[in-house]
Structure 1
Amino acid sequence: MGINCGIDWAESHHDVALADDTGHIVARARIDTGATGFNDLLRMIAEHGGTPEGTPVAIETDKNLLVVALAEAGFTIYPINPRAVARYRERHGQAGGKSDPGDAAVLANVLRTDPDVHRVLPAVSEHGRAVKALARQHQEAIWALHQTISRLRSVLLEFYPAALQAFPNLKHRAALTVLTAAPTLEAGQKLTRHRLEYLLRRCGRRNDPGLVEQILTDLRAPTLRQPPQVEASLGHAVAGLLGIVDSMHRAVDDLEKELGRVFDTHPQAPILRSVPALGPILAARVLAEIGDDQTRFVTPAGLRAFAGTAPITRASGRSHYVKARKVRNKLLCDACHWWAFAMLTKSAGARAHYDKRRAAGDHHNAALRNLANKLLGRLWWCLQHGEAWDDRAAWPQAHDGPNPAAA
């Protein structure tokens, strides 16, 4: 008799349920999240005749420490989408009741009834997981940086709109350097030409004709003002946000350097870097989400569905239409979008395909999505066969010409 294990994980504890072949729950337990809880789980499974090789585990995450420990112990892990668990729960009752022990039992029975329709946790190497960790944190750090810059813009609008007139793009180093020296309207109006030229040189901004005059004109233009005490307080807030932005810039740069270093030593890096438009960071993001498990995607269709580039069809009665896939790996989808966009200037074949889709009526994003779908199919082939990208083979119908260099 085989058993299936379901785990409903939480921050402070995990609920575990073991189900036999008939769906009967033979054991329940609540374990802690540390080594003691993990050992209790192993003992519980062994007491009911289970083994790492013969006891599949269902859990609603793929990045918990418990998942890592179970995978290292030899268990087969099934990360189940929480939306799927909700639908399985409704098979047994529609009143809306929910509990952690109940969800653990649902997860155990998911593997008993439908093991073949759920994906096994891919066997990504330690090196591949390191790339994934850095790539995701680098992306999250960039998003957090942009959110902080948006906060800075909001504060400046309250009392210092002249700064936004002088520097519409706060992501530029010149804007942050000048605002650090002049965080209030009063300080901005006191900036001298010599001081401003020095600040621009220090941040590496070239002195375009009329640039200094334009900035000084914008900062000294007549404007509405907050009361002095309020303006001073908001100036302190701006100075604090500028310090945070500067620290975040350094953190992003450090993560980017480490990501590039770790990615460049991965065995699949030469293949990915041979692809036009895939620079080290974008290539690392693609590898991070695809992984280096050669058995994960047995066909290019699986990879395309995972990335969300393959469309889905909804047909019911007389209704039949094709639409973009919403359930997807959003990080991989975003990387593929920018990869396809960059390919427009790096590959004549990619550009011709995009133009063909646009001529057929696709809007810009739909044409890029279709192009990314084609690119992923070719990348799957390259990774499966261990061969570098050949743009002529990718676009055999394109006109002959020199292959552009990768970004």
Structure 2
Amino acid sequence: MLFVGDDWAEDHHDVEVMDAAGRRLARARLPEGVEGAARLHAMIGAQLGDADRVDVDDAGQVKIGIETDRGPWVQALIAAGYTVYAVNPLQAARYRERLAVSGAKSDAADAHMLADMVRTDSHQLRPVAGDSPEAEAVKVVTRMHKTLIWERTRAGQRLRHALREYFPAALVAFADLDAVDTLTLLAQAPDPASAARLSLTQISAALQQARRRDITAKATAIQAVLRAEYLGQPAVVTAAYAASVRALVALLVTLNEQINTLQGQVEAHFGRHPDAEIILSQPGLGVILGARVLAEFGDDHDRYATAKARKNYAATSPITRASGKKRTVTARYVHNDRLIDALMTQAFTSLRASPGARGYYDQQRARGASYRAALRQLANRLVGILHGCLKTGTVYNETTAWSHHLNHAPA
């Protein structure tokens, strides 16, 4: 067996090859790209007795530790047949402290540490999942879609903060700052004086573009608010804020357009995936939320040996800290933000979609669990149900999923 540590950077890789006894066999700094990958194969081949190439059988004797699970370099290592372990940077930092307490650190030393880590602790590490290209495509578009939604929220908060400083009437008139009608009117009138001059026709046209109801009454109410008296800023300061608001409005308009475009891509890629039917059958999961769950879990059915393993990865299961007579059970705070966000949203939505989910949630609340804790326990249960459906290739069944809990529910 050969063990390889790969400390990666944007343009190079520090690599060390180690044998089963922990002896350093080779060390090099390789460039990113085809040339670097070829030199890595040559280094490994030389240690395996074949400097020209590494065949499939020999590649199975090579374990590589690297602190990432994506990118062309990682895909090239997997395609070559090596066993690749994506080491969490936090795990690597803790392991580094085991080897040296001085705090010294270098790229070459990190490569040595990663090689030694896969040599001694590979049974504790998780190999890079063998997800299909279809699942990878779903992950790419869903992550960018969610990222743009987060960016829109941040831009909306900046817009709200700016308006509060010089144009409070806008916050009273417009409830949703990233809505189409709001952005249209703010682009036309980004300051109190120009907003007060907006006619009912202009306001009604913006409301009609956003497909609002009861346009006449809403336009009249908005005009009255914009023409009321409020405290303001000096003219030069107001002009500066107005310029800032125009920029934020343009940014929000672009974000709305791209979010809608990516939503179509998410729906298209997810609809072609073979697991889409099973995922969509789960309570509380629609196309967008289901795509996010698939993207973050992946579609490698061998990745999670048990439902507990999937729950632990999802961070919906609790962790126990016990020492002597002290024992505490807490939520997992180290988690995949995108996955836990999707699962908690599913749990909340399932309260109306599934009588079984509602009954299970009510049981947790009756036992004294807080709203957040009960919702997390429901999400944990739903992850287990999803795992069973994916393992057996069956769609969700309300009676089967909740029969045990409903039969033992308290009166």
Output the CA distance in 2 between the equivalents of 1:74 and 1:253: 39
Corresponding position of 2:250 = 243
Any idea what SS the aligned residue of 2:144 has?
helix
Listed one character per residue, the Cα deviations across residues 40-93 of structure 1 (whole Å, up to 9, x for unaligned) are 111111111174221111001111321111112222110001111111111121
Preserved CA contact (<8 Å) 1:200 1:207 = no
Residue 27 of structure 2 is matched in structure 1 by 28
1:4-403 to 2 correspondences below 5 Å: 4-49=3-48, 51-207=58-214, 210-396=217-403
Q: How far, CA to CA, are the matches of 1:280 and 1:265 in structure 2? A: 12
Deviations 1:365-385 (A, max 9, x none): 111110111111111111011
- The size of the alignment, in residue pairs, is 399
Distance across 1 between alignment mates of 2:404 and 2:119: 49
Q: CA deviation at 1:307?
A: 0.3
Aligned partner of 2:51 in structure 1 is none
String of CA shifts for 1:143-193, please: whole Å, max 9, x gaps.
111111112122222221211121133133222222122111111111112
1:286-340 per-residue CA deviation (whole Å, 9 max, x = no partner) reads: 1101111110001000000000111010011221010001222221111110001
Q: Deviations over 1:204-232 (max 9, x none)?
A: 11126742232122212212222223322
Partner SS state of residue 247, structure 1: helix
Structure 1 unaligned regions, length at least 5: 401-407
Provide the C-alpha distance between the structure 2 equivalents of 1:10 and 1:342, rounded to a whole number of angstroms: 41
Relative to 1, partners in 2 of residues 1:399 and 1:260: Cα closer, same or farther, differing over 3 Å?
Answer: same
Between Structure 1 and Structure 2, the one with more helix by share is 2
TM-score normalized by the length of structure 2? 0.94
Q: For 2:402 and 2:206, how far apart are their aligned partners in 1?
A: 49
1:358-407 C-alpha deviation (Å, 9 max, x unpaired): 1111111111110111111111111011111101101115779xxxxxxx
Structure 2, unpaired ranges of 5+: 49-53
- CA distance in 1 between partners of 2:108 and 2:404 (Å): 58
Q: Deviations over 1:213-269 (max 9, x none)?
A: 321222122122222233223212211211111111111111110110010010111
Name the SS for the 1:388 alignment partner.
coil
Once residues 335 and 239 of structure 2 are traced to their aligned partners in structure 1, the CA distance between those partners, rounded to angstroms, is: 47
1:266-292 CA-partner distances (Å, limit 9, x unpaired): 011111111222100111011101111
Q: Percent identity?
A: 40
Distance 1:89 1:41 in 2: 24
TM-score (norm 1): 0.95
Q: Contact between 2:207 and 2:215, CA under 8 Å: does it hold in 1?
A: no
Asked whether the equivalents of residues 348 and 398 of structure 1 are also in contact (C-alpha less than 8 Å), the reply is no
Inter-partner Cα distance in structure 2 for 1:342 and 1:149: 25
Q: Which amino acid aligns with 1:261?
A: A
Q: 1:83 to 1:397 in 2, by over 3 A?
A: closer
Conservation of the 8 A alpha-carbon contact between 2:17 and 2:26: yes
* 2:76 match: secondary structure: helix
Q: Aligned partners of 2:104, 2:274: CA distance in 1, in Å? A: 49
Q: 1:399 to 1:374 in 2, by over 3 A?
A: closer
Any idea what SS the aligned residue of 2:394 has? coil
Contact kept? 2:191, 2:239, Cα under 8 Å: yes
Q: Partner amino acid for 2:45? A: A
The answer on whether the counterparts of 2:208 and 2:215 sit within 8 Å (CA) in structure 1 is no
TM-aligned CA deviation for residue 12 of structure 1: 2.1
**Is the 1:177–1:203 Cα contact (8 Å) retained in structure 2?**
no
